[in-house]
Protein backbone atom coordinates (compact mmCIF):
# COMPACT_ATOMS: atom_id res chain seq x y z
CA UNK A 1 0.00 0.00 0.00
CA UNK A 2 1.21 3.48 -0.87
CA UNK A 3 0.14 6.31 1.41
CA UNK A 4 0.73 10.07 1.15
CA UNK A 5 0.45 12.16 4.31
CA UNK A 6 0.28 15.90 3.61
CA UNK A 7 0.14 18.84 5.99
CA UNK A 8 1.67 22.13 6.93
CA UNK A 9 4.56 22.72 9.31
CA UNK A 10 3.89 21.20 12.74
CA UNK A 11 0.55 19.81 11.57
CA UNK A 12 1.20 16.32 12.98
CA UNK A 13 1.92 14.67 9.63
CA UNK A 14 5.18 13.01 10.71
CA UNK A 15 3.63 11.79 13.95
CA UNK A 16 0.72 10.28 12.01
CA UNK A 17 3.07 8.62 9.51
CA UNK A 18 5.14 7.17 12.37
CA UNK A 19 1.96 5.86 14.01
CA UNK A 20 0.84 4.18 10.77
CA UNK A 21 4.28 2.64 10.24
CA UNK A 22 4.35 1.37 13.82
CA UNK A 23 0.88 -0.16 13.47
CA UNK A 24 1.80 -1.92 10.23
CA UNK A 25 3.21 -4.98 12.10
CA UNK A 26 6.12 -4.88 9.64
CA UNK A 27 9.77 -4.04 10.13
CA UNK A 28 10.11 -0.28 9.62
CA UNK A 29 12.81 1.59 7.73
CA UNK A 30 12.79 5.35 8.08
CA UNK A 31 14.14 7.10 4.99
CA UNK A 32 15.27 10.61 5.92
CA UNK A 33 15.76 13.08 3.09
CA UNK A 34 16.96 16.07 5.11
CA UNK A 35 20.44 17.49 5.06
CA UNK A 36 20.95 19.08 8.49
CA UNK A 37 23.13 21.99 7.40
CA UNK A 38 22.48 24.33 10.35
CA UNK A 39 21.74 24.24 14.06
CA UNK A 40 17.97 24.61 13.70
CA UNK A 41 17.77 21.72 11.24
CA UNK A 42 20.01 19.62 13.51
CA UNK A 43 17.50 20.23 16.32
CA UNK A 44 14.62 19.11 14.10
CA UNK A 45 16.48 15.94 13.13
CA UNK A 46 17.26 15.21 16.80
CA UNK A 47 13.57 15.65 17.69
CA UNK A 48 12.55 13.12 15.02
CA UNK A 49 15.26 10.66 16.14
CA UNK A 50 14.06 10.80 19.77
CA UNK A 51 10.51 9.91 18.71
CA UNK A 52 11.45 6.88 16.63
CA UNK A 53 11.64 3.39 18.15
CA UNK A 54 15.22 2.16 18.40
CA UNK A 55 14.50 -0.96 16.34
CA UNK A 56 13.59 1.06 13.25
CA UNK A 57 16.27 1.07 10.58
CA UNK A 58 17.41 4.43 9.20
CA UNK A 59 18.57 5.38 5.71
CA UNK A 60 19.62 8.95 5.04
CA UNK A 61 19.28 9.78 1.34
CA UNK A 62 18.83 13.37 0.15
CA UNK A 63 18.68 12.74 -3.62
CA UNK A 64 18.31 9.16 -4.96
CA UNK A 65 14.98 8.27 -3.41
CA UNK A 66 13.80 5.91 -6.17
CA UNK A 67 17.02 3.88 -5.94
CA UNK A 68 16.68 3.51 -2.17
CA UNK A 69 13.02 2.51 -2.46
CA UNK A 70 13.80 -0.14 -5.09
CA UNK A 71 16.69 -1.52 -3.02
CA UNK A 72 14.83 -1.53 0.32
CA UNK A 73 11.14 -2.26 -0.33
CA UNK A 74 9.91 -5.75 0.52
CA UNK A 75 6.68 -7.49 1.52
CA UNK A 76 7.98 -7.68 5.10
CA UNK A 77 8.87 -3.99 5.39
CA UNK A 78 7.17 -0.62 5.84
CA UNK A 79 9.17 2.29 4.45
CA UNK A 80 8.51 5.74 5.88
CA UNK A 81 9.84 8.58 3.69
CA UNK A 82 10.11 11.91 5.51
CA UNK A 83 9.92 14.20 3.70
CA UNK A 84 9.31 14.70 0.00
CA UNK A 85 9.50 18.50 0.06
CA UNK A 86 12.97 18.39 1.63
CA UNK A 87 13.96 15.91 -1.10
CA UNK A 88 12.53 18.27 -3.70
CA UNK A 89 14.45 21.21 -2.20
CA UNK A 90 17.70 19.23 -2.27
CA UNK A 91 17.18 18.56 -5.98
CA UNK A 92 16.20 22.14 -6.77
CA UNK A 93 19.41 23.41 -5.18
CA UNK A 94 21.65 21.32 -7.43
CA UNK A 95 23.44 22.98 -10.33
CA UNK A 96 22.13 20.31 -12.73
CA UNK A 97 18.63 21.46 -13.76
CA UNK A 98 17.82 18.06 -15.32
CA UNK A 99 18.42 16.10 -12.11
CA UNK A 100 15.05 17.01 -10.58
CA UNK A 101 13.11 15.79 -13.61
CA UNK A 102 15.18 12.60 -13.74
CA UNK A 103 14.75 11.75 -10.03
CA UNK A 104 11.05 12.69 -10.03
CA UNK A 105 10.34 10.42 -13.01
CA UNK A 106 12.40 7.61 -11.46
CA UNK A 107 10.31 7.90 -8.29
CA UNK A 108 6.96 7.96 -10.06
CA UNK A 109 7.96 5.13 -12.41
CA UNK A 110 9.03 2.73 -9.65
CA UNK A 111 5.99 3.10 -7.37
CA UNK A 112 3.72 0.54 -9.02
CA UNK A 113 6.32 -2.21 -8.73
CA UNK A 114 7.32 -1.69 -5.09
CA UNK A 115 6.28 -4.39 -2.60
CA UNK A 116 5.31 -3.78 1.01
CA UNK A 117 3.96 -0.61 2.55
CA UNK A 118 5.30 2.85 1.89
CA UNK A 119 4.27 6.02 3.71
CA UNK A 120 5.32 9.34 2.20
CA UNK A 121 5.31 12.55 4.23
CA UNK A 122 5.26 15.94 2.53
CA UNK A 123 4.51 19.59 3.26
CA UNK A 124 1.40 20.92 1.55
CA UNK A 125 2.60 24.25 0.24
CA UNK A 126 -0.38 25.20 -1.90
CA UNK A 127 -2.42 26.72 0.93
CA UNK A 128 -0.25 29.75 1.67
CA UNK A 129 0.73 33.01 0.09
CA UNK A 130 2.18 33.18 -3.42
CA UNK A 131 5.98 33.31 -3.07
CA UNK A 132 7.83 36.28 -4.51
CA UNK A 133 11.02 34.78 -5.93
CA UNK A 134 11.50 32.61 -9.01
CA UNK A 135 13.03 29.71 -7.04
CA UNK A 136 10.28 29.70 -4.40
CA UNK A 137 7.56 29.84 -7.07
CA UNK A 138 9.22 26.92 -8.85
CA UNK A 139 9.39 25.03 -5.54
CA UNK A 140 5.65 25.50 -4.94
CA UNK A 141 4.87 24.47 -8.53
CA UNK A 142 7.10 21.39 -8.37
CA UNK A 143 5.71 20.35 -4.97
CA UNK A 144 2.14 20.71 -6.24
CA UNK A 145 2.83 18.66 -9.37
CA UNK A 146 4.65 15.99 -7.36
CA UNK A 147 1.80 15.74 -4.85
CA UNK A 148 -0.79 15.42 -7.62
CA UNK A 149 1.19 12.68 -9.35
CA UNK A 150 1.76 10.79 -6.09
CA UNK A 151 -1.85 11.16 -4.96
CA UNK A 152 -2.96 9.59 -8.22
CA UNK A 153 -0.73 6.55 -7.53
CA UNK A 154 -1.35 6.17 -3.77
CA UNK A 155 -4.16 4.08 -2.32
CA UNK A 156 -4.58 6.48 0.62
CA UNK A 157 -3.99 10.24 0.82
CA UNK A 158 -4.41 12.09 4.11
CA UNK A 159 -4.27 15.80 4.89
CA UNK A 160 -3.24 16.52 8.48
CA UNK A 161 -4.29 19.76 10.17
CA UNK A 162 -3.77 20.51 13.88
CA UNK A 163 -2.90 16.86 14.46
CA UNK A 164 -6.18 15.67 12.94
CA UNK A 165 -6.18 13.46 9.85
CA UNK A 166 -8.63 14.13 7.05
CA UNK A 167 -8.70 11.26 4.56
CA UNK A 168 -8.86 12.61 1.02
CA UNK A 169 -8.59 9.27 -0.77
CA UNK A 170 -8.93 5.64 0.34
CA UNK A 171 -10.09 4.13 3.60
CA UNK A 172 -10.53 6.53 6.49
CA UNK A 173 -8.17 6.38 9.45
Q: Which residues are annotated as part of the binding site for GTP?
A: 7-14, 32-34, 49-52, 60, 82
Active site residue 48: yes
What sign for the dihedral angle of Cα 42, 45, 47, 53?
Answer: negative
What span, in angstroms and rounded, lies between the C-alpha atoms of 148 and 81? 17
Could you tell me if 18 and 133 are in contact, meaning their C-beta atoms sit under 8 angstroms apart?
no
Output Rg (C-alpha) for the chain, integer angstroms: 15
> Which residues face 157 on adjacent strands?
4, 169
Binding site: which residues?
A: 7-14, 32-34, 49-52, 60, 82
Tell me which of 47, 48, 102, 147 is the catalytic residue: 48
> Looking at the annotation, which residues are catalytic?
48
Amino acid sequence: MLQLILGGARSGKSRLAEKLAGESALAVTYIATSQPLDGEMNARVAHHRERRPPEWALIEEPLELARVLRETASDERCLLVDCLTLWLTNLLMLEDPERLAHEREALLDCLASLPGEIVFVSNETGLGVVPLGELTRRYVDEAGWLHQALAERCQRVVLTVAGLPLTLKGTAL
